[in-house]
Structure 1
Amino acid sequence: MASVIPASRPRVRFAPSPTGFLHVGGARTALFNWLYAKKFDGDFLLRIEDTDRQRSTDESTRAIFEGLEWLGLTWDEDVVYQGANVQRHHADAHRLLESGAAYRDFTPAAEIERLRAEAEARGEAFRFDRALADLSDAEIAERLARHEPYAIRFRVPEGTTEWDDLVHGRIAFPNKDIEDFVILRSDGTPVYNMAVVSDDIAMGITLVMRGDDHISNTPKQILLYRALSATVPQFGHVPMIHGTDGKKLSKRHGATAVGDYQHQGLLPQAMLNFLALLGWSTGDDVEVMTLPQLIEKFRVEGLQKKAAVFDTKKLEWMNGQHLALIPIDELAALMTPLMEKAGLASADDLRARHEWFCGVLELLRVRARLLDEIVDQAKPFFTEFVEYDADAVSKQWRDAAATADILEATHDRLAAVSTWEPAAMEEALRALAEERGISGGKIFQPLRVALVGLTVSPGIFDVLQYVGRERSLARIAAAVRYLKNG
């Protein structure tokens, strides 16, 4: 199905508040906006909504930048900081005041709280009564002369506010259900809806795509656009993300910050692929996609209404799929600092043995879902000797004397092999098994424990090849000594 093409060059934005780390829900919203911009040759803009000075931090702002950069969701223009535009927000609020679309409210905060408490006591929702602020021009002038503080409230007109949502279709709100809302507090600071509309107008935003928890804000914002004689952008509200228990995603479900997954060994392309499928469908059975494929397949018609489920197991599976697809040199570059951090090898050593290192990674990546798992599985290829897993010993070395005898014979056959290559080693050990009248597994499984300390590994002859002749023979000899000495 062909996608709806915007009439003009689209300008979309991601507008997080720097009050915490980049949440996976925010990253998903950023991705949808970014994909839309790339699909239709538009602009993806970043705005940091830092007007809450008490909760906004530089650390959170850096975390947002780092998370987006790790994912590759780069923005097309300078970052906009909402806090730097308060004067414009203030001016736009006063424009509404001057046009009659808004009015001054001198009602003391204590009075508002009293009325709210009374309404709650009656079991009713508090709703501001416009009559509370209905003062004559003379009274207003008198209060202004006394420098009494006032808030500015938007005068909600009669009628209905509706829009065609990209995700949900036609949405309508009766204006009678929207109270006259504050757009500028008595201390002169703008309220969220005022600041957002003022900034989106100034940035030329043509589509606001965000979480559907913002649907209730949208009619207020549309009213503000119209009152400011500005073009109303399109709106699209994507579904919330839930945990596997069906509840809103939170820390109780595990990691929710993008940075956590970065440090757990996930590939950014896998994270993007996974996030894209949370609330969006390609319309076919394809799940594993590169970023260019995501852009090519992206259609707003594929955005779904129902809540998406964040399944960590599915994310790890997706990462495993991308581990298998990534060019081996690129994987080697990613793994090098991790190998250094684990104390297994230096960058210089890995560069000197690049071909060998890539060979090891080829063996391991098909068995791993995370980069950290590759590090763990790589240890036997770097260490001089290995530790034996207790379960592996009890399972494969149960009869110590018989196992020592088989491993001694295995050592001798391998030592006599002229070329240290899988085919030659397999031929020698299968001949040994035939001579002894046993299956190949009776040799290969005890040998695997001797080489890597575990019951699982890549193919045993590949392990022998990449561990190397001298180190392999030394490990087999060490295993024989272990078995004989108890």
Structure 2
Amino acid sequence: MSTTKTRVRFAPSPTGLLHVGNARTALYNWLYARHTGGDFILRIEDTDLERSEERHEAQLMQDLQWMGLAWDEGPELSGAGGGPHGPYRQSERLEIYREHTARLLAEGKAYRCFCTPEELEAERKLAAAEHRPQIYSRRCLAIPPAESEARAASGEHFAVRLQIPDRPLRFHDLVRGDVEFAADSVSDPVLVRSASGASAGIPVYNYVVTIDDALMEITHVIRGDDHISNTPKQVAIYEAFGWKVPEFAHLSTILGADRERLSKRHGATSIASFREMGILPEALVNYLALLGWGAEGGLRETFTPGELINEFKLERVTASPAVFDFEKLNWLNRHYLKLAEPARITDLAWPYFTAAGLLPSVQSVEITEWFTKVLALFLPAVDRLDQLPGRTHFLFQINPDAAVSNPENAELLATENAQRVLAELAVRAREFEGDLTAELFKTWMNEIKAETGVKGKDLFHPVRIALTGSHSGPEFEKLIPLIEEGSTLALPNHLPSVRERIQEFTS
């Protein structure tokens, strides 16, 4: 490697959705590149031809872009560009791998293995029975080169193995310190699979990732700690080619609340799911950054992307497992929802209401202005944008029968006080004509209080149930104008006015 500039990469496999663990890995790579003035490379590891799909590749790129993690080199998408070290899809680099395999064979650093799967399985069983390490016996290493070439030329199936040196394999980990593996714990790893079966002749992960990292001049490999066991094999490949070994930083595992590895059973774990739920990207990025890292002092919890870039150091990354706390993410999302521009939240929230049949697909000026007021009132009461339709549903549609039958409401509505209050309210709703304002409604409530002698929750709860279906909710002075204005708009379903709600409830 000739460069001294920091170069890091995120190299996902397009076999499924981008999940929390990989997203944090991408973020830490991006932050380190930006903090050090280096390059962030996106590489697609799609040599698993049976499981890799273009739709997954497109989705993970969209997720990275949504998070704000722009790459400096990588596959072309919406002008993201390529770069001088391409191709950036491993499926387009097979000839590069073949050339390097030929070099290792010619230099005697790799050899062909003609062992059948049955023979290898027999070796493993014998080693297990004798309580020996289950590593390859190297029986094919003794085959003379001329014989090996002749057998290959005749069409006999073979894999290609790397000859591991008879000494410990060492590397430095920026998170965990110096790490050493004994040579006999690694065995001679397969570099290219046997030329038979579905994966015929396909180079293996540890081989291609090392070649790619070297040729793309990666200086720091930042990835999950599930790759630690792969690292000695990769170090051996670096050394076989005479390449400089990069710095490694293996990130801790992310756990669920039960201290088990985070998975779908703990809830949403894909970036696409969080996006669909209405988690803002700045909230998710902020939260993922805190899963295994903390700024100097360790007291701050909210960071803009710029502040994260300034603060991020690999020395601050911990080796201890991080626990994914959904409540903490919700707290951060509420924080950023409050800071966001109202117009942005209106645009982001609108599709949720369209999907629920509450708003038209096309925004009009009048409805948008009203909807922005609705959001201003209800946004502080939600964790995520997808909760808004449920929280505000009573504005758009109300079911008096359901409100009455609700056990929490039924007992209250059955009282004499509640019936007197609602009777007085019904009289005023029937007799009134004109625009009902919050001030006038307040006058009504004061009059009912004076006439019935009912006050406090016995006065307000029955009225709130009549208007919203629930005995709790926003203050009347804020709610009444929204209901009245909404009743005049061309919504998919007519939004009942205050008087309509009272008349329907008390009829």
TM-score, normalised to structure 2, is 0.85
Q: Match of 2:471, as an amino acid? A: T
Indicate the residue corresponding to 1:403 in structure 2.
418
Equivalent positions of 1:39-438 (< 5 A) are 39-79=35-75, 80-187=88-195, 188-282=201-295, 283-348=297-362, 350-383=364-397, 388-389=402-403, 390-399=406-415, 402-410=417-425, 422=438, 425-426=441-442, 429-430=445-446, 432-433=448-449, 436-438=452-454
Q: Percent identity?
A: 36
- Give the conservation status (yes or no) of the 8 Å contact 2:170–2:178: yes
Distance in structure 2 (CA, Å) of the matches to 1:410 and 1:444: 11
Q: Pick closer, same or farther for the CA change 1:366–1:411 going to 2, 3 Å.
A: farther
Q: Pick closer, same or farther for the CA change 1:433–1:285 going to 2, 3 Å.
A: farther
Q: Match of 2:37, as an amino acid? A: D
Distance in structure 2 (CA, Å) of the matches to 1:169 and 1:46: 26
* Per-residue Cα deviation, 1:29-73 (whole angstroms, up to 9, x for no partner): 111112222222322222111111122223332332233233232
Gaps of 5+ in 2: 76-87, 196-200, 488-496
Q: What SS class does the counterpart of residue 179 from structure 2 fall into?
A: strand
- Give the conservation status (yes or no) of the 8 Å contact 1:93–1:194: no
Moved more, 361-370 or 297-306: 297-306
* Per-residue Cα deviation, 1:300-322 (whole angstroms, up to 9, x for no partner): 22211111112333333332332
Moved more, 311-320 or 471-480: 311-320
Q: What SS class does the counterpart of residue 468 from structure 1 fall into?
A: helix
Indicate the residue corresponding to 2:463 in structure 1.
447
- Give the conservation status (yes or no) of the 8 Å contact 2:112–2:140: no
Q: Match of 2:129, as an amino acid? A: A
Shift in Å, 1:413: 6.9
Q: What SS class does the counterpart of residue 390 from structure 2 fall into?
A: helix
Q: What SS class does the counterpart of residue 352 from structure 2 fall into?
A: helix
Shift in Å, 1:209: 0.6
Shift in Å, 1:141: 4.8
Q: Pick closer, same or farther for the CA change 1:476–1:291 going to 2, 3 Å.
A: farther
Q: Pick closer, same or farther for the CA change 1:179–1:343 going to 2, 3 Å.
A: same
* Per-residue Cα deviation, 1:430-475 (whole angstroms, up to 9, x for no partner): 5653565443433222221111111221223211121127711221
Q: CA RMSD in A?
A: 2.8
Q: Match of 2:324, as an amino acid? A: F
Distance in structure 1 (CA, Å) of the matches to 2:149 and 2:71: 47
Distance in structure 2 (CA, Å) of the matches to 1:200 and 1:472: 66
Q: Match of 1:473, as an amino acid? A: R
Distance in structure 2 (CA, Å) of the matches to 1:476 and 1:294: 53
Moved more, 468-477 or 79-88: 468-477
* Per-residue Cα deviation, 1:338-381 (whole angstroms, up to 9, x for no partner): 11111112144553233321111011110011212111122222
TM-score, normalised to structure 1, is 0.88
Distance in structure 2 (CA, Å) of the matches to 1:156 and 1:50: 26
Distance in structure 2 (CA, Å) of the matches to 1:183 and 1:312: 41
- Give the conservation status (yes or no) of the 8 Å contact 1:240–1:308: yes
Moved more, 381-390 or 440-449: 381-390
How many residues end up aligned between the 2 structures? 474
Distance in structure 1 (CA, Å) of the matches to 2:312 and 2:437: 47
Q: Pick closer, same or farther for the CA change 1:42–1:395 going to 2, 3 Å.
A: farther
- Give the conservation status (yes or no) of the 8 Å contact 1:212–1:240: yes
- Give the conservation status (yes or no) of the 8 Å contact 2:256–2:266: yes
- Give the conservation status (yes or no) of the 8 Å contact 2:14–2:53: yes
Distance in structure 2 (CA, Å) of the matches to 1:43 and 1:141: 42
Gaps of 5+ in 1: 1-6, 482-486
Distance in structure 2 (CA, Å) of the matches to 1:246 and 1:384: 43
Indicate the residue corresponding to 1:484 in structure 2.
none
- Give the conservation status (yes or no) of the 8 Å contact 1:281–1:302: yes
* Per-residue Cα deviation, 1:93-140 (whole angstroms, up to 9, x for no partner): 222222232233333333222212222333443211235421234533
Q: Match of 1:169, as an amino acid? A: G
Q: Pick closer, same or farther for the CA change 1:224–1:349 going to 2, 3 Å.
A: closer
- Give the conservation status (yes or no) of the 8 Å contact 2:398–2:468: no
